[in-house]
Amino acid sequence: MASSPAGKVNVGIVGAGNISDIYLKNLSAMFDNINVVGIADLVVERAQDRAEKFGVGAFSVDELLAHPDVEIVLNLTIPAVHAEIAGKAIANGKSAYNEKPLATNREDGKALLAEASAQGVLVGSAPDTFLGGGLQSARKYLDDGLIGAPVAVSAQMLGHGMESWHPDPSFFFQPGAGPLFDVGVYYVQALASMIGPVARVASMARASFPERIVGNGPKLGEKIAVNTPTHIMSSLEFENGVIGALGASFDVWETTNSTLVIYGSEGTLRLPDPNTFGGPLQLLKGGETKWTDLPLVYGNTENSRGLGVWDMANGIQTGEAVRASGELGYHVLDIMTAVLDSAEQGRHVEVESTVDRPDLLPLA
Partner 1 sequence: MNPTPVSPVTVGIVGAGFISDIYLANLTTRFDNVRVVAVADLAVQRAEARAAKYGLAAMTVDDLFADLGIELVVNLTVPAAHADVAMRAVAAGKSVYNEKPLTATREQGQALLALARDNGVFVGGAPDTFLGGALQTARKLIDDGAIGRPIAVNAIMYTHGHESWHPDPGFYYQPGAGPMFDMGPYYVTALVSLLGPIVRVVSSTGVGLAERIISSEPKFGETIHVNTPTHIVAALDFANGAIATLTTSFDVYDTVHSRLTIHGAEGSLQLPDPNTFGGTVSLLQPAAFLSRRDPLSVGRTPDDRADPNRVAAPRWEDVPLTHGYTDNSRGIGVADLARAIRDGSPARASGELACHVLDVMHATLESSDQNRHIAIASTVDRPDGMPAS
Closer CB to partner 1, residue 60 or residue 208?
A: 208
Closer CB to partner 1, residue 204 or residue 297?
A: 204
Closer CB to partner 1, residue 123 or residue 262?
A: 262
Are 98 and 329 within 8 A, CB to CB? yes
Please count the CA atoms within 13 angstroms of the CA of 259 that sit on its side-chain side: 17
Length reported for the chain: 364
286 vs 156: CA distance, rounded Å: 22
- Per DSSP, what are the bridge partners of residue 264? 150
Closer CB to partner 1, residue 58 or residue 343?
A: 343
Task: Supply the minimum distance, in Å, between the C-beta of residue 158 and partner 1.
Answer: 7
Closer CB to partner 1, residue 64 or residue 349?
A: 349
Separation in Å, CA 66 to CA 19, 24, 91, 342, 356: 23, 20, 10, 41, 32
Task: Supply the minimum distance, in Å, between the C-beta of residue 299 and partner 1.
Answer: 22
Closer CB to partner 1, residue 33 or residue 203?
A: 203
Identify the three-state secondary structure at position 141. Answer: helix
Closer CB to partner 1, residue 60 or residue 292?
A: 292
Task: Supply the minimum distance, in Å, between the C-beta of residue 284 and partner 1.
Answer: 6
Q: Which of 99, 128, 155 minimizes the C-alpha distance to 303?
A: 128
Are 27 and 11 within 8 A, CB to CB? yes
Closer CB to partner 1, residue 24 or residue 269?
A: 269
Task: Supply the minimum distance, in Å, between the C-beta of residue 166 and partner 1.
Answer: 8
Type and span of the H or E element at 108 = helix 106-119
Closer CB to partner 1, residue 139 or residue 231?
A: 231
* Binding footprint of partner 1 on the chain (CB under 8 A): 151-152, 154, 156, 158, 160, 164-167, 200, 202-206, 208-209, 215-217, 231, 233-237, 241, 243-245, 247, 249, 251-255, 261, 263, 265, 267-268, 284-287, 289-291, 342, 346-348
Task: Supply the minimum distance, in Å, between the C-beta of residue 60 and partner 1.
Answer: 29
Task: Supply the minimum distance, in Å, between the C-beta of residue 244 and partner 1.
Answer: 7
228 vs 278: CA distance, rounded Å: 31
Angle between helices 20-29 and 44-54 (to 10 degrees): 30
Task: Supply the minimum distance, in Å, between the C-beta of residue 183 and partner 1.
Answer: 13
Task: Supply the minimum distance, in Å, between the C-beta of residue 276 and partner 1.
Answer: 10
Q: Which residues contact 296 (CB under 8 A, 6 or more apart)?
A: 133, 134, 137, 278, 279, 281
Q: Which of 74, 102, 79, 259 minimizes the C-alpha distance to 177?
A: 79
C-alpha torsion angle, residues 55, 99, 297, 190 (rounded to 10): 170
Q: 83-103 burial string, b = 16+ CB within 10 Å, else e? A: bebbbbbbebebbbbbbbbbb
Task: Supply the minimum distance, in Å, between the C-beta of residue 167 and partner 1.
Answer: 4
